[in-house]
Amino acid sequence: MQIKPFLFPFIMIVSLAQGCSFSYSSKSSSDSSGSSSKSSGSSSSSTSSESSNDTEKYQQQIISYSSAYLSTADFDRLAFSRGVSEIASANGITNWEDDDATLIAIGRALKKSNITGSAYETYKDQIANSDAARMKLIQKGYEMKKD
Amino acid sequence: MFSSALHAKAFDYIYITASEGNASGGHTALRFDDETYHFQHYDGGIIRLIKDTSTDFDFQYRYLENRTFHQAALNLNDSDYEQLLNHFSLHFLLQKQQDDIRKEINLNIALLNNQTQHSQLNIKGAGLFSIKAVPRKTESLTNYQLQQQINQKYGADFLTQRIVQLKSEVNALHPEPWPKNSLQLSEVTFSPIPYSFASHYLDSISKILLLETIKNNYTLNPQHYFSPEPSLFILSQAEISQLKRFQLVLSHNLLTLINSQRPDWGNAAFSLYARIISLSLSIESGKFVFLDTFRDSSPVIDYTEVARYETKLLAQKNNALARIVQIKAALFTEQHIITEKTYGQLEMLSNYYYEREDNLQNKQGIRISGEQLLASKSISLPEMLLPKITDRQIAEGLARFEAYQQSIEQQLHALYGYDLFTRNCVTEITRTISHLPTNNQQIKELSQLTDKNIISFIPFGSFRNLSDDYTKQALPSFRHQQLAAMYREENSAIVFLREFNTLSATDYKFNDQDAAFLIFTDDNILMRPIFGSINLVAATIMGLYGSFSLAFDSGKALKDGTMGILMSLPELAFFNIRKGSYKHLSFPAN
């Protein structure tokens, strides 16, 4: 990649004609944080079974979103739920409220966001809609050593 | 200085070579294993952080756009690596949230203006069902069993009562002011999106329509399901038993969903109910019946283009069929419990296969991508279901949302306005890194990359400025990979003579993304001015022809010729921008 300094102006003129890439994805509204792949023709969606790696990737998406959301001052359960739904749906999950992987990931996010004590109990109760089995799964995620 | 720590993890700084059109300055990205982050210039003059899977990113840039990557690997210890990755992930989500706020405002304006054809104003999933078609016996039986389960769990009048309750909720809805913190954007704070009037309204309508679909036994829309012909899709008794167990789980999920406190369960329940019905059809017929999972806005190519790329599309179809064999075998292994995701993967790939199979046979256009793990066909919000609020409420609501829209647009421009010199795909990477509090020397050095010299804000310049201590490598473009393989396996002279020009090159076909050119110039630097001159002559002829055909082709040939001239000029001085792009390539196996 050696290049002579006298060529710099020419490189600049050529490069500045348009600058960096314009968004090809701006033509599509499908891109989302939850999107796992653009097409089943791509190898990223060609896995033959749901591996633990797939689950971990899905959980990481939920953890990233939940941690970012929980970092805001006001927690709005309805708005938060819609964000989780978007990621779950892109990953083929309809009823995420009873999905183990999702609830465990939310627990992991609560831990990662350093939410403790009564604040943690309130969030857990609200997200699980006071359902004992769901709260147990959130707790399981919270107590995991990861993150 | 950059000695690797124990358990070092590498991330890559990638410089993507220039391409014609909107990328003549090249591009840059940061890769963390299977996630790639990069900044793109968007409509409206703003720059946004994008996250792609690394395979999708490679396929777009190295294969379809045919651009070589130059990659430098930087080693970090686990903690610094995670910190940097989390930092980019947070910024990506933060910006996505801001974009969603903008969409939410537009949605409210569309609803208050009664724009029923607005692309966002729709009921997702409702299009999977039809009120006109007559249900098959199996569908009626499945619906009857579901209604029985609902009656047992929630009482005999549940469906009717819930519909009445939801209708009363909808009638009480009206636009309300948003909290101030949702409307103050910042580069570092995650702004909450309020559960707005329009979203609440559409969610409620979605729930009402879903419950009415179940109550009135509306049938699956015959346009949105299919059963592929090959014997591979025939089900054995054991496979049918497994599908029955899967269907039971889904029915249980649907029962829970329709009484959920989650605001948007209507859309999810449509997808779920449609899948339950399609499984009944599969079980009854002894052959897979899949829902059409292509999203509503899937890109379609017309039959002229299908015919042109028929060989590639046929190969894609056959590859998909081979993969379906593997996925089906894995799905029905004895120990395996079918999940929504594993079934969704089979359905998604079957959609990809059937779209090619059916339309190649019937000589029709093809939806080239857009299949999803869950089916979700939308309908526009019916006019009779538009909100019944007073003119005053509409006027006040509109005034408020238009003011929000203006404020958000101004803030986005102020925070993320694109600038060729100071805010581009290189400077945004370094600026984002500079916000990360760190003691790591490599990260600090990367954040100062654009300060080094006059060309460091250009992708090529930034890569050149990276320390030579990093491991650097070139990842060849699709055409260069093909050429290398051909030179290995065939006579070099024949390969050169066949592949140096666009008329006889294997795989390459002229397409609407490339301006007129005759000779590839990215292979041979010494010959570049000579080949560039020939390209210049060809583009000039094209331009002249275009000036005569202006009235017939809306100036397309003239534009192609002019762009061809512009792209040929740098070649006279040994520089290459144009690579020649590819369409409809199959995804590489590796």
Q: What residue in B sits closest to A67 (Cα-Cα)? A: B90
- Asked if the ipTM is above 0.85, the reply is yes
- Give the number of A-B residue pairs with CB atoms closer than 8 Å: 243
CA of A102 vs chain B CAs: smallest distance (Å): 13
Enter the DSSP assignment of B62. I
Using CB atoms, pick whichever of B27, B458, B590 lies closest to residue A21. B27
| B26: contact with A, CB 8 A cutoff | yes
Q: Residue B267: its chain A contacts at CB < 8 A?
A: 85, 89
A15 to B348: CB separation less than 8 angstroms, yes or no = no
For position A35, what pLDDT does the model report?
Answer: 37
B42 to A30: CB separation less than 8 angstroms, yes or no = no
For position B153, what pLDDT does the model report?
Answer: 97
- 10 Å CB burial of residue A145 (0-12, 13-18, 19+) is exposed
Element (H, E) at B136: none
For position B2, what pLDDT does the model report?
Answer: 43
| B259: contact with A, CB 8 A cutoff | no
Cα dihedral B392/B396/B402/B405 (nearest 10):
-130
- C-beta separation of B215 from B163 below 8 A: yes
Using CB atoms, pick whichever of A1, A12, A42 lies closest to residue B56. A42
Distance CA B487, CA B485 (A): 6
| B575: contact with A, CB 8 A cutoff | yes
**Residues 329 to 368 of B: which have CB under 8 A from any A CB?**
329-331, 336, 339-342, 344-345, 348-349, 351-352
Task: Tell me the C-alpha to C-alpha distance, in Å, between residue B45 and each of A26, B5, B88, B179.
Answer: 12, 41, 22, 27
A48 to B327: CB separation less than 8 angstroms, yes or no = yes
**Residue B275 tokens, joined:** 């899948």
The predicted-structure confidence for B476-493, as pLDDT tens digits, reads as follows 999 999 999 999 999 999
Q: What spatial distance separates the first Cα and last Cα of chain B, rounded to whole Å?
A: 35
Q: pTM of this prediction? A: 0.90
Enter the DSSP assignment of B2. -
The predicted-structure confidence for A18-69, as pLDDT tens digits, reads as follows 466 665 443 333 333 333 345 666 544 444 444 678 899 999 999 999 999 8
Residue A14: pLDDT over 60: no
**Residue B13 tokens, joined:** 């700084």
**Residue B165 tokens, joined:** 């309750």
CA of B294 vs chain A CAs: smallest distance (Å): 10
| B192: contact with A, CB 8 A cutoff | yes
- The position carrying tokens 């060309």 is B455
Q: DSSP characters for B168-222? A: HHHHH----PPPGGGS---SSS-PPPP--HHHHHHHHHHHHHHHHHHHTTPEEPG
Tally of helices (H runs) and strands (E runs) in chain B: 19, 14
Q: Residue B312: its chain A contacts at CB < 8 A?
A: none
- C-beta separation of B391 from B139 below 8 A: no
Per-residue pLDDT tens, chain B, 590 aa: give them: 444 445 689 999 999 998 886 667 799 999 999 999 999 988 889 999 999 999 999 999 999 999 999 999 999 999 999 999 999 999 999 999 999 999 999 999 999 999 988 889 999 999 999 998 888 999 999 999 999 999 999 999 999 999 999 999 999 999 999 998 889 999 888 888 899 999 999 999 999 999 999 999 999 999 999 999 999 999 999 999 999 999 999 999 999 999 999 999 999 999 999 999 999 999 999 999 999 999 999 999 999 999 999 999 999 999 999 999 999 999 998 677 899 999 999 999 999 999 999 999 999 999 999 999 999 999 999 888 999 999 999 999 999 999 999 999 999 999 999 988 889 999 999 999 999 999 999 899 999 888 877 778 889 889 988 888 899 999 999 999 999 999 999 999 999 999 999 999 988 988 888 888 999 998 888 899 999 999 999 999 999 998 888 888 888 888 888 888 888 888 888 888 888 999 988 877 66
Q: What residue in A sits closest to B92 (Cα-Cα)? A: A33
* b (16+ CB within 10 A) / e for B247-272: beebbebbbbbbebebbbbbbbbbbb
CA of A85 vs chain B CAs: smallest distance (Å): 8
Q: Tell me which of B345, B574, B578 to substitute to probe the interface with A (most A C-beta atoms closer than 10 Å).
A: B345
- C-beta separation of B258 from B211 below 8 A: yes
Q: Residue B189: its chain A contacts at CB < 8 A?
A: 72
* Helices B78-112, B391-416: inter-axial angle, 10-degree rounding: 150
For position B550, what pLDDT does the model report?
Answer: 83
